[in-house]
Amino acid sequence: MKKIKIFGMLLVISLAVFWITYLNPTLKIATGYTAKYLCSYEYLSNIDTENVIEALNFFPIKYISYEINKKEKRIEASLFGFVSKQTAPIMKRAICVDVCWVPPRQK
């Protein structure tokens, strides 16, 4: 029984290390890529979003959800709605930049 507990603890620790070192940075790249790609096509080239989504139908991009905010001119992308959330707003000079969006301060 003691060996099973030690094995379980080692498994949990190794999964946490795997998440921190490999998966989390990879997912941030994937969500940032999706946000930037959609922002460029939505606001700069005026191509239909559905055509762009068909082009993004590959692993792991096809599992990333996105939200287009036309009022604030930005696109949020995340995996399953909460993992590695990234935002690509359109800037004043008509470029899309991948940033971690922080809400503006309330006055």
* Closest C-alpha to 89, from 35, 51, 52: 35
User: pLDDT tens-digit profile of 7-42?
Assistant: 999 999 998 888 777 777 777 888 888 888 887 787
Sheet with 74-79, edge to edge strand ranges: 64-69, 74-79, 83-89
pLDDT given for residue 11 in this prediction: 93
Name the residue with tokens 């068909």.
Answer: 54
Q: Quick check: helix, strand or coil at residue 79? A: strand
User: pLDDT tens-digit profile of 41-68?
Assistant: 877 777 777 777 777 877 777 888 888 8
pLDDT given for residue 90 in this prediction: 65
pTM attached to this predicted model:
0.63
